[in-house]
Amino acid sequence: MAIQPIRLFGDPILRSKAVPVTDFDQELRRLVQDLTDTMLEAPGAGLAAPQIGVGLRVFTWSIEGVVGHLVNPVLDLSEETQDGDEGCLSIPGLAIDCRRALSVVATGFDQYGEPVVIEGSQLLARAIQHETDHLDGVLFVDRLTPELRKQAMKEIRESDWFGLSGPPTVKVSPHPTGGLGL
């Protein structure tokens, strides 16, 4: 149970596809706890394993006082859409209007390997889609209109945190990742 550093825009792991979890063991439960602790401390509405340097298909969320997690998510999205501000802990200080499905049915597993189904709309649907995108190496700025993406990239380049540390720092994950965590 430890708060982990959050990887920032530009770190290669944020653009890598995470692999499915196959072992529902103590290490996975520690990862879920680390994700939860880090997300709540940040604070954020969600956090995916790649954001703390672990290339596994796991994320947590905290929406309207409800905290949860999902392992190996598969999404069924509504055709109806919503527009709204979206931000990301890996892109601090940026919130831009992004279109997402209005509702989602997410299937997957809990940290013990038990099947779960999460149904959500509005903010929960947005968070589930956002975090699942992280597991596929997709950032929310990739989903913006060309005009908004250009604006977002300008804000990122002008941010205090962008480029200050040079190339991203690579740290060894404390979790077994089969060589896939950077």
34-50 pLDDT, tens digit per residue, is 999 999 999 999 999 99
Token pair of 11, please? Answer: 């770190």
pTM: 0.87
Q: Which of 10-19, 107-116, 129-138, 164-173 has the lowest mean pLDDT?
A: 164-173
Q: Is 50 exceeded by the pLDDT of residue 180? A: no
From the candidates 131, 147, 155, 158, give the one annotated as an active-site residue.
131
CA dihedral 47, 82, 145, 73 (to 10 degrees): 40
- Measured CA to CA, the distance from residue 31 to residue 108 in angstroms comes to 16
CA dihedral 35, 21, 103, 105 (to 10 degrees): -130
- 131 catalytic? Reply is yes
Q: Is 70 exceeded by the pLDDT of residue 174? A: no
For domain 12-158, give the CATH superfamily: Peptide deformylase (3.90.45.10)
- Measured CA to CA, the distance from residue 62 to residue 43 in angstroms comes to 9
